[in-house]
């Protein structure tokens, strides 16, 4: 694995994403990745900081 691919994989991993490849004979590999819209930690902290509505 080249240095660029390693760095790319680390960036994807640190952002909570996934990376994979598919390879076909005589065509070479195709690399794919996915990233969450919101990281799980951020989503969890957003819910924990929500305030309950105050009733007067």
Secondary structure of 1-55 in the HEC alphabet?
A: CCHHHHHHHHHHHHCCCEEEEEEECCCEEEEEEECCCCCHHHHHHHHHCCCCCCC
- Rounded distance between C-alpha atoms, residue 27 and residue 46, angstroms: 44
Instruction: Examine the pLDDT at 1 and tell me if it is beyond 60.
Output: no
pLDDT of amino acid 11: 94
pLDDT of amino acid 32: 94
Q: Is the pTM of this model over 0.85?
A: no
For the ranges 1-5, 6-10, 41-45, 48-52, the one whose mean pLDDT is highest: 6-10
Q: What is the pLDDT of residues 17-54, one digit of tens each?
A: 999 999 999 999 999 999 998 766 666 666 665 555 56
């Amino acid at each position: 694995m080249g240095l660029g691919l390693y760095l790319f994989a680390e960036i994807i991993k640190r952002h909570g994403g996934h990376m994979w490849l598919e390879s076909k004979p005589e065509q070479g590999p195709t690399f794919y990745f996915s990233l969450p819209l919101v990281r799980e930690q951020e989503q969890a902290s957003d819910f924990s900081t929500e305030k309950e509505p105050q009733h007067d």
